[in-house]
Amino acid sequence: MPTSFRHWTNMNKSKTRHESECTMTEMVLPNDANIIGNLLGGRLLHWIDLAGVTCATRHAESLAATVMIDAVSFKRPIQVGNIVVLKSYVTWTGKTSIETAIEVYAENPYKGERSFIQKTYAVFVTLDERGQKIPVLPYVPVTAEEQAEFMAGEQRQARRIAPLSLRA
């Protein structure tokens, strides 16, 4: 079934955070690291993008493409042998856009310790099979925390597009 047809048949549908969230794990291997044995920032950005687009695609039930990833800062290095856990979930939806949060953790599998590394937001646009924007299924926040995150997502999106409107 074409993406756009499936999407239009689901327009009365909405989804919760739980229905779209994803968890991705990666082991840091020597090929993923710099010369001192720490995960390359670019590799982590790649994994963040994959975790976010997987969540957005699951939510949209259609293609999703990355529009932007907000600032990323690394709280501590992630070393070879660590397991990286990326948790992604929808925080806000617009007409054709989906914002996801991606939380990154590093696990030392030999000590059983997990450390928070960072949290960032990424925005994706929903597309049909021809690459044209299509409406996204609405996200319905359930808990008070999710509702607060949704309102904050609206504010983040307004700040993102404000510089674009100045160019027009």
In the chain, what are the domains? 3-160 (3.10.129.10)
The region of weakest confidence among 5-14, 40-49, 56-65, 76-85 is: 5-14
User: How far is the CA of 129 from the CAs of 28, 46, 62, 65, 69, in angstroms?
Assistant: 34, 23, 8, 12, 23
Instruction: Give the pair of three-digit tokens for residue 66.
Output: 């990355």
Chain CA centroid to CA 25, Å: 14
Please state the pTM of the whole predicted model.
0.88
User: Taking 90 as the threshold, does the pLDDT of residue 144 lie above it?
Assistant: yes
Model pLDDT for residues 80-132, shown as the tens digit of each residue:
999 999 999 999 999 999 999 999 999 999 999 999 999 999 999 999 999 99
Quick one: pLDDT at residue 65?
97
pLDDT of residue 82: 98
Between 9 and 21, residue with greater pLDDT? 21
* 1/74: higher pLDDT: 74
Q: How far apart are the C-alpha atoms of 29 and 79, rounded to whole Å?
A: 9
Give the Cα separation of 148 and 15 in Å (integer): 17
Instruction: Name the helix (H) or strand (E) containing 56.
Output: helix 41-60
CA distance 44 to 32: 9
**Is the C-alpha dihedral spanning 27, 92, 163, 119 positive or negative?**
negative
Q: How far apart are CA 92 and CA 160, in angstroms?
A: 14
Separation CA 152–CA 64 (nearest Å): 22
What 8-state DSSP symbol labels residue 17?
Answer: H
Q: Which residue has the tokens 């904050």?
A: 152
Two tokens, residue 135 = 């409406």
